[in-house]
């Protein structure tokens, strides 16, 4: 009987038929289909029927962290994922290097700034403003995280990143508290300061000379205040690790106190080294009862409306990752955090297919892993909150309620 379990989340896995088959159905994936023949499928509405999940909320819920108690906003999770140490009460943001001309944001990603340049610019975004320490860390490309540390801060401030190009809007307090007012002031002072510093930087002078967009402002969104969550091992009674490339997913795992090994080649994009992730998962399984493996590109292709790319990436996962995960005796739970429809280029509230297999477990007689099968699967319709309980039961480590 399986004593350990692997949860594979292909981000944004579920999709709509386009026009006949979804990418998961269109993909040639003999390894996943072999698991489908031996196990059970079902459909998951991560946060409840019809609700459109974000990646942050979806992952927290799936790992057993109820949102009403433990959701602290995206910022702290991004900051943790970028390797920053957070303290309770820190207010953190997801940050983007961007390009501003006059008052207009002309590129929210500063031409997808390269990592090397971002690292050179990092120091310009660290400062002390009033009694608040401002800590910035660049992560991948134009992305980064910003942490405000000081007394009396609040996450109740509007984002300076409005998710689209156009006129820049300063942060505003979202409630009447002193903390919200103070935090908005700090954010706006930071924005002015970093803009002035970046404008004069050598990196940007060189980029302008080369005809590239300058990374001359940092935009913020996803404000959240760092809270305290019980460790995964306390919550579930098993040791857990996470193998992921994307910062957010590592951040969720760190927030849950899981082991998050650095995996060379795990990039969180389509070029990620899936074989390296498989090996890392097997290694993590030595010291842990549970490994959460995350791949991101299924979601990224969906946001780009690229169903073919999504299909091919699922085929790559099937070929390069599944054999390692399925060949070691561990129970396997394969799903997505939510559906992302290529035709909409957006997350949807459609259920996401689930495939569960462990040696000696029940079978539902279905032959192929996909939305059209899973909606008739033996697991029926589950929610994100059920996932860890089902996994614990698969490996015989569920706590009995009663006697």
**Binding-site ranges for a second copy (CB under 8 A):** 1, 16-19, 40, 43, 47-58, 67, 71, 74, 94, 221-222, 343-344, 346-350, 360-365, 371-372, 375-376, 378-383, 386, 388-393, 396, 398-403
Q: CB 293 → a second copy: shortest distance, Å?
A: 20
Query: Shortest distance, CB of residue 396 to a second copy, whole angstroms?
Result: 6
Q: Where are the beta strands (DSSP E) in 91-131?
A: 91-101, 104-107, 127-129
Closest to 146 (Cα-Cα) out of 200, 84, 197: 84
Instruction: Provide, rounded to whole angstroms, the least separation between the CB of residue 68 and a second copy.
Output: 11
- Considering beta carbons, is residue 214 or 240 the nearer one to a second copy? 240
Distance CA 310, CA 258 (A): 29
CB of 155 to a second copy, least distance (A): 13
> In the complex with a second copy, which residue's Cβ is closer, 314 or 388?
388
Which is nearer to a second copy, 176 or 400 (by Cβ)? 400
3-class DSSP state for residue 180?
Answer: helix
Q: How near is the Cβ of 123 to a second copy at its closest, in Å?
A: 28
In angstroms, what is the minimal distance from the CB of 109 to a second copy? 17
**What does the alpha-carbon distance between residue 32 and residue 27 come to, in Å, rounded to a whole number?**
10
Closer residue to a second copy in complex, CB, 124/351: 351
Cα 234 to Cα 60, 61, 229, 357, distances in angstroms: 15, 16, 10, 25
CB of 152 or CB of 378, closer to a second copy? 378
Nearest to 273 by CA among 319, 320, 310: 320
Least distance to a second copy from the beta carbon of 44, Å?
A: 11
At residue 350, φ and ψ (nearest 5 deg) are -65, 150
Strand 132-138 versus strand 104-107 pairing type: unpaired
Task: Give the nearest distance from C-beta 306 to a second copy in angstroms.
Answer: 17
Cα of first residue to Cα of last residue in the chain, in angstroms, is 23
3-state helix/strand/coil string of 284-326? HHHHCCEEEEEECHHHHHHHCCCHHHHHHHHHHHHHHCHHHHH
**Cα 39 from Cα 356, distance rounded (Å):** 6
Q: Would you say 130 or 393 has its CB closer to a second copy?
A: 393
Identity of the residue, 48 or 323, whose beta carbon is nearer to a second copy in the bound complex: 48
Distances (CA, A) of 175 to 104, 172, 192, 226, 325: 27, 9, 23, 19, 48
| Shorter beta-carbon distance to a second copy: residue 285 or 356 | 356
């Amino acid at each position: 009987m399986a004593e350990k379990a692997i949860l594979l989340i292909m981000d944004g896995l579920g999709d709509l038929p386009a026009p006949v088959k979804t990418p998961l159905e269109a993909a040639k994936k003999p390894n996943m289909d072999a698991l489908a023949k031996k196990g059970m499928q079902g459909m998951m509405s991560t946060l409840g029927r019809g609700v459109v999940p974000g990646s942050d909320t979806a992952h927290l819920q799936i790992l057993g962290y109820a949102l009403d108690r433990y959701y602290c906003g995206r910022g702290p999770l991004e900051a943790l994922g970028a390797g920053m140490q957070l303290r309770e009460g820190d207010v953190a943001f997801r940050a983007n290097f961007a390009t501003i001309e006059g008052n207009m944001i002309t590129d929210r990603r500063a031409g997808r700034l390269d990592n090397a340049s971002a690292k050179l610019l990092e120091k310009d975004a660290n400062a002390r403003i009033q009694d608040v320490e401002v800590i910035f860390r660049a992560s991948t490309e134009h992305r980064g995280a910003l942490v405000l540390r000081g007394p009396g801060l609040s996450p109740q401030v509007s984002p300076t990143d409005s998710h689209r190009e156009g006129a820049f809007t300063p942060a505003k307090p979202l409630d009447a508290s002193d903390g919200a007012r103070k935090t908005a002031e700090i954010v706006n002072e930071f924005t002015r300061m970093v803009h002035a510093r970046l404008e004069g930087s050598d990196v940007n002078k060189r980029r302008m000379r080369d005809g590239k967009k300058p990374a001359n402002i940092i935009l913020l969104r996803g404000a959240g205040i760092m809270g305290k969550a019980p460790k995964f091992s306390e919550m579930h009674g098993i040791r857990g690790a996470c193998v992921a490339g994307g910062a957010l997913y590592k951040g969720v795992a760190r927030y849950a106190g899981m082991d998050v090994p650095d995996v060379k080649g795990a990039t969180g994009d389509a070029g990620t080294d899936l074989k390296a992730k498989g090996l890392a998962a097997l290694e993590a399984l030595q010291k842990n009862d549970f490994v959460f493996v995350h791949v991101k590109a299924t979601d990224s292709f969906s946001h780009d409306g690229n169903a073919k790319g999504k299909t091919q990436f699922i085929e790559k996962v099937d070929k390069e990752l599944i054999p390692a995960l399925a060949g070691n005796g561990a129970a396997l739970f394969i799903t997505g955090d939510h559906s992302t429809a290529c035709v909409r280029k957006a997350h949807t509230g459609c259920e996401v297919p689930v495939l569960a297999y462990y040696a000696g477990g029940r079978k539902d007689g279905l032959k192929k892993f996909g939305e059209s099968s899973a909606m008739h699967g033996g697991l029926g319709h589950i929610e994100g909150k059920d996932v860890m309980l089902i996994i614990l039961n698969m490996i015989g480590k569920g706590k009995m309620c009663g006697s």
